[in-house]
Amino acid sequence: MFASLAVYTLLALKVCTVSAFPAYKSLAGLTREALDAAVSSTTFVPPPSPPGPLADQSAKLVNDAAHPYQPLRPGDQRGPCPALNTLASHGYLPRNGVATPAQIVTAVQEGLNLENSFARFLTYSTFLVNGNPITNLMSIGDKTSGTGQDPPKPATVAGLDTHNNCEGDTSMTRADAFFGDNHSFNESRFQNFIKYSEKYGAGKYNYTVAAQLRKFLIQDSIQNNPQFSLVSPRLFTAFAESVFPINFFIDGRDTSGQLDLDVARSFFQNMTFPPNFFRRAGAVSNVGQNVVTDLLPNFKPGYNAHGVNTFTVDSTSATLTEPCLRYTNFVNKNIKQLYPNPTGVLKQALTINLQFLYEATVAANESCTQVFPYGH
Ligand code: HEM
Ligand SMILES: *[C@@H]1O[C@H](CO)[C@@H](O)[C@H](O)[C@H]1NC(C)=O
Ligand SMILES: *[C@@H]1O[C@H](CO)[C@@H](O)[C@H](O)[C@H]1NC(C)=O
Ligand SMILES: *[C@@H]1O[C@H](CO)[C@@H](O)[C@H](O)[C@H]1NC(C)=O
Ligand SMILES: *[C@@H]1O[C@H](CO)[C@@H](O)[C@H](O)[C@H]1NC(C)=O
Ligand SMILES: *[C@@H]1O[C@H](CO)[C@@H](O)[C@H](O)[C@H]1NC(C)=O
């Protein structure tokens, strides 16, 4: 099964120490002194280092007897990411949808063969804005008391559904936040995914379709969403996610690069591996993304400044070819905004997670200069 007894014991310990506080009550009303006292009386367990790459990266059956699909129970969290949803529904992640960063890295590697540095990068950047640094837990869906006592505002700790730098506009199967539900499977958007696969992929989703669909989705949001925005870091995930279904949702015994639409629906909507599903052979990340960017050579990050059809370039945003500016802005702006002045164990936890994020960017061969928003 997914977790060893030791992991569960550790989790139970953390949850217990945290729930010594009134359940799910923000600490925002407390004075600085009361806050420091409250936070430091939590038994803080420094987060473990992220897992390394898989030793065996071969294709293998992952929809196996040890990981059966189970339907959601009341309160289980699922969100905008079809991969994490599926991994939770098969027990590669805790089925309640609340997980540690290390559990997420392990699950995306074991279940889908996502490359280690990319897995760490995605996980720690998401965790730093949407997870709870003290309890080391994050919801893959909505905000939940399952992640423990919140740190002080303006931190949100609101899970992957949060419309910020991870969840964003122009998703393939989720509506833009402006239209209300930003994270549930949306049938009319999936019908458009089918339409594009029929038009450009002879009924399959491939890199050619991914590029055409991404181009359409950007235009569609510019024309219909008055609050449309596509800037870093969401910009990077939007383009990577376009090729993820091809790289990870095609059975590992099939090297055609053509994703069947029922298989796509199984992941996107049903949160289920197809029967007898094999993960891909060999760990990869966003291979094929060049096909998408080649179709949109002039796209610049930006937003609708004054309602629909007022797309305005945001020259402060990193572009797709500026990964180090993405890293620096993310740390100095996005994280600093949520945690302007952390102290005690909160600062310690943030510093450790920021270190993991930096190490992931280096491992991905991006030789960026490290930044230290909270000192050395
Ligand atoms: C092999 C691993 C993964 C695959 C195949 C995958 C796949 C995808 C795909 C295809 C989408 C787009 C959904 C859509 O546009 O309708 C998505 C969205 C998302 N994923 Fe993942 N993902 C993976 C790993 C991760 C990890 C490790 C994280 C972070 C912990 C993550 C967080 C998200 C978030 C926040 C979104 C929402 C973005 C949005 O559409 O607004 N994913 N994922
Ligand atoms: C699906 O998305 C479209 C926008 O792309 C939106 O107009 C519609 O309301 C969404 N449907 C649901 C059920 O949320
Ligand atoms: C996105 O969905 C979440 C969960 O339903 C909701 O709390 C949040 O308000 C939505 N974000 C926006 C900007 O609509
Ligand atoms: C996608 O499918 C179409 C139709 O079969 C084909 O012309 C195109 O070459 C395919 N693209 C890729 C990258 O496989
Ligand atoms: C999705 O789940 C429904 C209900 O269990 C089932 O009828 C349908 O065949 C599934 N579709 C796919 C593509 O897995
Ligand atoms: C980084 O570069 C090294 C040396 O060229 C290579 O072995 C490794 O695969 C690269 N890592 C990634 C994630 O691309």
What integer pLDDT is reported at residue 182 of this predicted model?
Answer: 85
Cα dihedral across residues 369, 372, 375, 376: positive or negative: negative
348 CA → ligand 3 middle, Å: 30
Predicted pLDDT at 31: 52
Does residue 50 have a cis bond before it (omega within 30 degrees)? no
Detail the DSSP E strand segments found in 208-362: 229-230, 259-260, 302-304, 311-313
Distance (angstroms) between ligand 5 centre and the Cα of 269 equals 8
Taking the CA of 177 as reference, the closest ligand is 3
pLDDT tens digit sequence for 127-178: 999 999 999 999 999 999 999 999 999 999 999 999 876 789 999 999 999 9
Measure the CA–CA gap between 372 and 354, rounded to whole angstroms.
8
Return the sign of the alpha-carbon dihedral for residues 239, 321, 160, 182: negative
The residue whose CA is least distant from atom 2 of ligand 4 is 201
What local confidence, expressed as pLDDT, does residue 319 receive? 96
Model confidence pLDDT, tens digit, residues 104-120 = 999 999 999 999 999 99
Q: Using the atom order of ligand 4, give the atom closest to the CA of residue 209.
A: 1
Please tell me the distance between residue 366's alpha carbon and the centre of ligand 6 in angstroms.
10
The rounded Å distance from CA 364 to ligand 6 centre is 7
Question: How close is the Cα of 70 to the center of ligand 2, in Å?
Answer: 27
Residue 368 Ramachandran class (φ > 0 left, ψ -120 to 50 alpha, else beta)? beta
Q: Is the CB of 292 under 6 A from ligand 1?
A: no
Long-range CB contacts (within 8 A, 24+) of 324-327? 324/361, 324/366, 324/367, 324/368, 324/369, 325/232, 326/232, 326/233, 326/236, 327/357, 327/358, 327/361, 327/366, 327/368, 327/371
- Which of the four pLDDT bands, split at 50, 70 and 90, describes residue 39? low
pLDDT above 70 for 24: no
336 lines ligand 2 (CB under 6 A): no
pLDDT digits (tens, 9 = 90+) for 169-216: 999 999 999 999 989 999 999 999 999 999 999 999 999 999 999 999
Dump pLDDT digits (tens) for 44-59: 889 999 999 999 999 9
Which protein residue's CA is at the shortest distance from atom 12 of ligand 2?
Answer: 186
Please say if the pLDDT value at position 11 is more than 70.
no
Query: Is the C-beta atom of 365 inside 6 A of ligand 6?
Result: yes
Q: Which residues are CB-neighbours of 6 under 8 A, at least 6 positions away?
A: none
